[in-house]
Structure 1
Amino acid sequence: MLINWFYLVSAILFEVLGTTCMKLSEGFKNLIPSILIFVFYGCGFTFSTLSLERIDVGVAYAIWSGLGTMLIASIGIIWFQESMSLVKFLSIALIITGVIGINASK
């Protein structure tokens, strides 16, 4: 069962890398990030599929989307100098709270 959680965390990280490469590709104008989008998303969906062998799909998807959103928002703010407002911060906090709530209800 622990391996399935490793797969889920790997899926999240690869999805975050793929999304970051979307930004870096500048609309498919930069070749390497454009290619890496597909590589990282392919790895992400592979690991996501493997994680679903023992993790409920609703729980896995909630964690995948919640943590992915939090990580991408953080990368946007830190690396790409995107703005951070109180509403954005509270919204991300609500997503994290939702992920915790879904896990606590198992």
Structure 2
Amino acid sequence: MSKPIGFFTSYTQGDGSLLESLQEEYGSTFELMTKREKLFLISAIAIQLCDQAPGRCREEIYVVGHQINSSLPQADRQGLIEALTNQVQWGRNLSDTELVPMK
């Protein structure tokens, strides 16, 4: 079962925030959005966060992205979104000075 957006964000009921507005319009678990709409929002947010993150991507990461999209089934790609989101939030992230090229 999905958890409400307040579980993942700073939203509290009655705060008058955009998060409250989104919950009122689309439901506490975004159940009133299509899968495509949810994926679009994931993409839009990720692009903006990536643009704001310091550093740059290694060239090989673009290749990895293509491999993921061309080789993995949908369920595994969705699982990777969840895994990567968890790692962005809670995992250790390399700094640009720690990067070691792939072999």
TM-score by length of 2: 0.30
Rg larger in structure: 2
TM-score by length of 1: 0.30
More helix by share: 1
Higher relative contact order (CA 8 A, sep 6+): 1
